[in-house]
A and B are shown apart, each in its own frame.
Chain A
Amino acid sequence: MKKILSLAVASALTCGVAMAKEIKVGAVMPMSGPLAAYGQVTNLGLELAHKQQPKLKNGDTIKLVLIDNKGDKVETATATTRLISSDKVVAILGALTSTNTAQTIAIADKKKIPVIASVATNDKLTARRTFANRVCFTDSFQGEVVANFAIESGYKTAVVVIDQAQVYSLGLSKAFQKAFKKKGGKIVKKIKVTSGDKDFKAVVSQIKKINPDFMFMPLYHPEASMIARQSKQLGLKKPMFSGDGVANQTFIDLGGDSVNGYMFTDFFDYTNPPSQTSAEFVKFHEKETGKAEMNSFTALGADTYNILIDAMNRCEDPTNSICINDQIKKTNGFDGVSGKISINSEGNATRSAVIKEIRNGKAGFKATVNP
């Protein structure tokens, strides 16, 4: 009897091991702090995608381990180290902004753990890194899109407001300036600000004096919304344009009616889902959250997860980080929530951009720009 019992236990154990394991995937997101508005919507995308597809083809379950980096570089580094050394994750999603993602990549690259960034657009992020990948476009593409738009709209002179504390802002402003000058535009002034500033009346007064045709402000929403508000107060009425850093409902909430007419580049528009997969995800989002509006960062968050799962499915051992990384870089024409995504050997994505304009408190679709 004893023998049979132990035999049964032993077989149950081996079965258990052979059947399915739990694989941990790390996520580093700013769930609090100044970037929380971005982190929370992106993480929602991860969670929804996980809910749709919690298992690999071979039956292994995926467990998402989320750590809040509070939007801080040091916290990001700590979180990344913790995920790799103590949670033993096979891949890391996020860190969101370029500045923080650079921290994550620097650490993960040494440990040979693949990273998929959702919205980190800085050009240099993936350079000379083997394990860095992203699903968003780069700043040089985004800068070019804005410059083209400005020139086509007949704007010849531009003021650029740069957040000198953010890699994102520095990179995007550089890309815009290069493209704008090349197409015959003139940068009349560069004004530097620092994230965390609230009072921009001096900046706005300065721009009003310069009187440019066009204002490009590659900033995040807390600063951009304050500039828009104070521009309205001081009577500055110029076309304002930002990158994906303001692609957020919080930006509209903070800006109120002063952001009417404000334009920005984005990745995705939920009212114009580019494919069947995309439309289905938008519906799933509505079912789960009760809200029809879906942030583009949610779509990108879902795509980081889905591309990772896709890559893992193609690996014989889905815990082999090197194989996962190789497969991510072989992603070609992936039918993502935010559109078709291909990732090249450098880890950069080729994908389309969307231009949006805020009208009556809603970000409205204006145009799709293909690479």
Chain B
Amino acid sequence: MDILTFMQQMVNGFSLGSMYALIAIGYTMVYGVLRLINFAHGDIMMVGAFLGYTFMAVFDLSFPVTVLLAVTLSAAFGMFMDKIAYKPLREAPKISLLITAIGISFFLENAFTVFAGGVPRAFPVPDYMENIFNVAGVTFSVASILVPIITLILLLGILFVLYKTKYGMAIRALSFDIKTVNLMGIDANTIIALVFGLGSGLAAIGGIFWAVNYPSVEPMMGVLVGLKAFAAAVVGGIGSVTGAVLGGFIIGFTEVVVIAFFPEMGGYKDAFAFIFLILVLLFKPTGIMGEDLEKSRF
């Protein structure tokens, strides 16, 4: 393999991985505070993409306004989901929460199939996103380079919120012990809602950029991406935000590398991504950045 193709594949892996990373952050944060793997998270990404589609294709709004509106609405939707589905189950066994999450996932997929139909719709990508750059023979579109940058900025933003703000401190405290935090005068439910809002907002950004890179939206689009992002969160160390981003990149690169080196095996790239997950679970169950599950979070 010549260096040019290698560089091109690296760029491809970087752009794919950063989208998994954006979604993995939401998984990891919700897990951090509630010990819940929110399987509906991939579908929130789909909701975000559909909101983006609606604002752009139906209401003809500009791209930045669309992102802003879709993210805000998705965040609100995440909080609403927490309020009606997860909050009543705070005292229930963890397995009930998990089953509820799977239920919500199916509900969202089917509700969107009913309202939007099953046919994939073309996402109206703004022209400037599709502009192509060519640097020393390596080509990439604006969108594919914008996503990693946005991911890293958002990662820094999330880390800032977690470590430099009062709310961040509350989130971290919550991840240790919900009951004690309540005794300290912090309203745990508000903080949990905040976490859902943040995670869902990020998933919506992930969804919209997914739709920009692969311009079609359909109700099942979140299923596989959600699973991969979940794998990314576990590989990186579930509960760790930096780990989630790292895991996202690792899963993205694994897929690209499989195709680059073994094109005949390309169809099994998902299998390779999940084999990676199994290996990590076997040899370092807490993931790359994860510490002892019962000790610290984030």
Interface residue ranges, A against B (CB under 8 Å): 30-34, 36-37, 40, 70-71, 162-165, 189-194, 196-199, 201-203, 205-206, 208-209, 222, 225-226, 229, 233-235, 250, 253-254, 256
Indicate which residue in B5, B15, B216, B263 contacts A191 across the interface (CB closer than 8 Å).
B263
Indicate which residue in A189, A191, A198, A209 contacts B214 across the interface (CB closer than 8 Å).
A198
| Chain B contacts with A in 228-267, Cβ cutoff 8 A | 255-256, 259-260, 263-267
Indicate which residue in A37, A192, A198, A209 contacts B266 across the interface (CB closer than 8 Å).
A192
Query: Are A32 and B12 interface neighbours, CB within 8 A?
Result: no
Q: Across the interface, which residues of A come within 8 angstroms of B221, CB to CB?
A: 198
Give the number of residues in B that approach A within 8 Å (Cβ atoms).
Answer: 44
Q: How far is the CB of A70 from chain B (nearest CB, A)?
A: 7
Q: Contact flags (1/0) for B207-235 with A, using CB distance below 8 Å?
A: 00010011110101100100000000000
Query: Are B5 and A203 interface neighbours, CB within 8 A?
Result: no
Query: Are B264 and A235 interface neighbours, CB within 8 A?
Result: no
Query: Are A205 and B141 interface neighbours, CB within 8 A?
Result: no
Q: Decide if B91 is an interface residue (CB 8 Å cutoff).
A: no
Q: How far is the CA of A22 from the CA of B55 in the complex (A)?
A: 48
Q: Contact flags (1/0) for B157-187 with A, using CB distance below 8 Å?
A: 0000000000000000000000000000000
Query: Are B118 and A229 interface neighbours, CB within 8 A?
Result: no
14 A-B contacts, Cβ less than 8 Å apart? Answer: A33-B118, A34-B218, A37-B119, A190-B263, A192-B263, A194-B269, A199-B255, A201-B12, A201-B15, A202-B260, A208-B5, A234-B140, A235-B132, A250-B119
Q: How far is the CB of B44 from chain A (nearest CB, A)?
A: 18
With A196-B224, A203-B266 already in contact, the answer to whether A254 and B215 are too (CB < 8 A) is yes
Q: How far is the CA of A196 from the CA of B9 in the complex (A)?
A: 20
Q: Across the interface, which residues of A come within 8 angstroms of B210, CB to CB?
A: 198
Chain A at the B interface: mostly helix, strand, loop or mixed? mixed
Q: Contact flags (1/0) for B97-137 with A, using CB distance below 8 Å?
A: 00000000000000001000111111000000010101000
Indicate which residue in A30, A165, A201, A229 contacts B267 across the interface (CB closer than 8 Å).
A165
Q: How far is the CA of A205 from the CA of B255 in the complex (A)?
A: 13
Q: Decide if B139 is an interface residue (CB 8 Å cutoff).
A: yes
Q: How far is the CB of A186 from chain B (nearest CB, A)?
A: 16
Query: Are A37 and B120 interface neighbours, CB within 8 A?
Result: yes
Give the residue name and chain of the B residue nearest to A36 (CB).
B118
Chain B CB within 10 A, most for which of A189, A191, A199: A199
Query: Are A206 and B263 interface neighbours, CB within 8 A?
Result: yes
Query: Are B120 and A233 interface neighbours, CB within 8 A?
Result: no
Query: Are A233 and B118 interface neighbours, CB within 8 A?
Result: no
Give the residue name and chain of the B residue nearest to A198 (CB).
B214
Q: Decide if B8 is an interface residue (CB 8 Å cutoff).
A: yes
Chain B at the A interface: mostly helix, strand, loop or mixed? helix
Query: Are B260 and A235 interface neighbours, CB within 8 A?
Result: no
Chain A CB within 10 A, most for which of B1, B220, B267: B267
Indicate which residue in B216, B224, B263 contacts A254 across the interface (CB closer than 8 Å).
B216
With A192-B264, A202-B9 already in contact, the answer to whether A234 and B139 are too (CB < 8 A) is yes
Interface residue ranges, B against A (CB under 8 Å): 1-2, 5, 8-9, 12-13, 15-16, 113, 117-122, 130, 132, 134, 139-141, 144, 210, 213-216, 218, 220-221, 224, 255-256, 259-260, 263-270
Q: Across the interface, which residues of B come within 8 angstroms of A32, CB to CB?
A: 113, 117-118
Q: How far is the CB of B128 from chain A (nearest CB, A)?
A: 14
Query: Are A190 and B264 interface neighbours, CB within 8 A?
Result: yes
Instruction: Contacts A203-B259, A233-B130 known; list 8 others, CB within 8 Å.
Output: A34-B218, A36-B118, A192-B265, A197-B269, A202-B256, A203-B266, A205-B260, A209-B2
With A198-B210, A202-B256 already in contact, the answer to whether A254 and B122 are too (CB < 8 A) is yes
Query: Are B264 and A191 interface neighbours, CB within 8 A?
Result: yes
Q: How far is the CA of A40 from the CA of B134 in the complex (A)?
A: 41
Indicate which residue in B1, B8, B15, B266 contacts A193 across the interface (CB closer than 8 Å).
B266
Q: How far is the CB of A52 from chain B (nearest CB, A)?
A: 25
Give the residue name and chain of the B residue nearest to A191 (CB).
B263
Q: How far is the CA of A181 from the CA of B31 in the complex (A)?
A: 54
Q: Across the interface, which residues of A come within 8 angstroms of B140, CB to CB?
A: 233-234
Query: Are A193 and B267 interface neighbours, CB within 8 A?
Result: yes
Query: Are B12 and A34 interface neighbours, CB within 8 A?
Result: no
Q: Across the interface, which residues of B come within 8 angstroms of A192, CB to CB?
A: 263-268
Q: Across the interface, which residues of B come within 8 angstroms of A226, CB to CB?
A: 214, 216
Give the residue name and chain of the B residue nearest to A41 (CB).
B119
Q: How far is the CA of A127 from the CA of B5 in the complex (A)?
A: 44
Q: How far is the CA of A190 from the CA of B1 in the complex (A)?
A: 17
Query: Are A234 and B130 interface neighbours, CB within 8 A?
Result: no
Q: How far is the CB of A32 from chain B (nearest CB, A)?
A: 3
Query: Are A205 and B266 interface neighbours, CB within 8 A?
Result: no
Indicate which residue in B134, B144, B260, B270 contacts A194 across the interface (CB closer than 8 Å).
B270
Q: How far is the CA of A191 from the CA of B265 in the complex (A)?
A: 8
Indicate which residue in B120, B267, B268 contacts A222 across the interface (CB closer than 8 Å).
B120
Q: How far is the CA of A278 from the CA of B85 in the complex (A)?
A: 55
Query: Are A225 and B216 interface neighbours, CB within 8 A?
Result: yes
Q: How far is the CB of A200 from chain B (nearest CB, A)?
A: 9
Query: Are B139 and A31 interface neighbours, CB within 8 A?
Result: no
Q: Across the interface, which residues of B come within 8 angstroms of A250, CB to CB?
A: 119-120
Q: Across the interface, which residues of A come within 8 angstroms of B15, CB to CB?
A: 201
With A164-B267, A192-B267, A233-B130 already in contact, the answer to whether A205 and B120 are too (CB < 8 A) is no
Q: Across the interface, which residues of A come within 8 angstroms of B130, CB to CB?
A: 233
Query: Are B120 and A234 interface neighbours, CB within 8 A?
Result: no
With A191-B266, A196-B224 already in contact, the answer to whether A205 and B215 are too (CB < 8 A) is no
Give the residue name and chain of the A residue nearest to B225 (CB).
A198
Chain A CB within 10 A, most for which of B13, B134, B263: B263
Q: Across the interface, which residues of A come within 8 angstroms of B120, CB to CB?
A: 34, 37, 222, 250, 254
Q: Across the interface, which residues of A come within 8 angstroms of B267, CB to CB?
A: 162-165, 192-194
Q: How far is the CB of B83 from chain A (nearest CB, A)?
A: 29
Q: How far is the CA of A332 from the CA of B259 in the complex (A)?
A: 48
Query: Are A70 and B118 interface neighbours, CB within 8 A?
Result: yes
Query: Are A199 and B263 interface neighbours, CB within 8 A?
Result: no
Q: How far is the CA of A235 from the CA of B137 in the complex (A)?
A: 10
Q: Which 5 A-B pairs have the closest CB atoms?
A: A32-B118, A36-B118, A192-B267, A202-B259, A198-B214
Give the residue name and chain of the B residue nearest to A236 (CB).
B139
